[in-house]
């Protein structure tokens, strides 16, 4: 079978639609969260679970569900050699665990695809990190540049990407998070992916979720039929 990534800003309905596809499609479907929020993930490495437990014990806020603001490119450089070394070590460990987590979930996707299942990604690392780690420019930290290079040059792309789009006012009313300006910018960043992805489709997500789910399901069925023809 193949992989499908549902992407879009917060409030577009990605998780709800992805979950509904398991019941709507007559084809075998596997849901897999491919975003950065461990609290939303249905599969996690033990190391990520440990990090999350430690952060909670220290009273840290949970990771954001969506991509990082593309304008926030660089943190102030720590003062003192010891602090810089410590910061570098932490960044290296975070990057190593992030890469391990991403490839772990990709391996899970390959496993289910080989078993004849359509794997539906809720978000995707390439799209969530694109504006910051991939297209962020020279101001990015070294760890972000390494991560962006691997995502764009090594990490497998989904076979089909479906962007759920809705006006920023609708997205804000649904989630109550962010601002109109931020949501407008993220909508533009997601649309920048269109020429970079071989199979990219846009679905209007401003209507009822049943209609959105039906539109996504039709795209997946058409893609499945095309894939069968190509394989045959």
pLDDT in tens, 25-75: 988 999 999 998 888 899 999 988 887 788 777 776 655 555 555 555 555
Residue 43 corresponds to which tokens in the numbers above? Answer: 């599969």
pLDDT, averaged across the chain? 87
158: which residues sit within 8 A by CB, 6+ positions away?
Answer: 3, 4, 5, 121, 124, 197
Q: Are the beta carbons of 8 and 163 closer than 8 angstroms?
A: yes
> Once rounded to an integer, what is the mean pLDDT over residues 132-159?
90
Strand order in the sheet with 200-204: 29-33, 118-122, 3-7, 160-165, 200-204
What pLDDT, on the 0 to 100 scale, is given for residue 72? Answer: 58
What pLDDT, on the 0 to 100 scale, is given for residue 219? Answer: 96
Q: Are the beta carbons of 166 and 12 closer than 8 angstroms?
A: yes
Render 75-118 in DSSP notation, one character per residue. PPPPSSHHHHHHHHHHHHHHHHHHHHHHHHHHHHHHHHHHTT-E
What pLDDT, on the 0 to 100 scale, is given for residue 67? Answer: 58
What pLDDT, on the 0 to 100 scale, is given for residue 105? Answer: 97
What pLDDT digit, counting tens, does each position of 41-55 carry?
999 999 888 877 887
- What gap in Å lies between CA 46 and CA 52, rounded to an integer? 10
What pLDDT digit, counting tens, does each position of 172-208 carry?
998 887 889 999 999 999 999 999 999 999 999 999 9
What domains can you pick out in the chain, each with its CATH number? 3-72+81-231 (3.40.50.300)
Q: What is the pTM of this model?
A: 0.87
What pLDDT digit, counting tens, does each position of 4-24 carry?
999 999 899 999 999 999 899
For the chain, the straight-line distance linking the first and the last C-alpha, in angstroms and rounded, comes to 13
- What gap in Å lies between CA 156 and CA 180, rounded to an integer? 32
pLDDT confidence band for 81 (50 / 70 / 90): confident
What pLDDT, on the 0 to 100 scale, is given for residue 164? Answer: 97
pLDDT confidence band for 136 (50 / 70 / 90): confident
């Amino acid at each position: 079978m193949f992989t499908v990534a549902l992407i879009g800003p917060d409030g577009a309905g990605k998780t709800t639609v992805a979950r509904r596809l398991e019941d709507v499609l007559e084809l075998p479907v596997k849901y897999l969260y491919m975003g950065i929020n461990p609290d939303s993930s249905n599969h996690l490495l033990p190391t990520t679970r440990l990090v999350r437990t430690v952060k909670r014990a220290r009273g840290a806020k949970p990771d954001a569900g969506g991509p990082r603001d593309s304008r926030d490119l660089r943190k102030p450089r720590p003062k003192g050699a010891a602090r810089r070394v410590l910061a570098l070590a932490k960044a290296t460990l975070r990057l190593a665990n992030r890469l391990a987590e991403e490839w772990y979930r990709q391996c899970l996707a390959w496993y289910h695809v080989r078993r004849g299942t359509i794997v539906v990604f809720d978000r995707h690392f390439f799209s969530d990190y694109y504006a910051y780690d991939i297209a962020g420019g020279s101001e990015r930290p070294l760890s972000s540049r390494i991560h962006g290079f691997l995502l764009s040059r090594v990490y497998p792309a989904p076979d089909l990407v479906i962007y759920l789009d809705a006006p920023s006012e609708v997205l804000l009313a649904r989630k109550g998070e962010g601002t109109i300006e931020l949501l407008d910018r993220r909508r533009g960043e997601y649309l920048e992916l269109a020429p970079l992805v071989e199979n990219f489709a846009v679905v209007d997500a401003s209507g009822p979720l049943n209609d959105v789910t039906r539109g996504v399901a039709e795209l997946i069925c058409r893609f499945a039929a095309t894939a069968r023809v190509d394989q045959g």
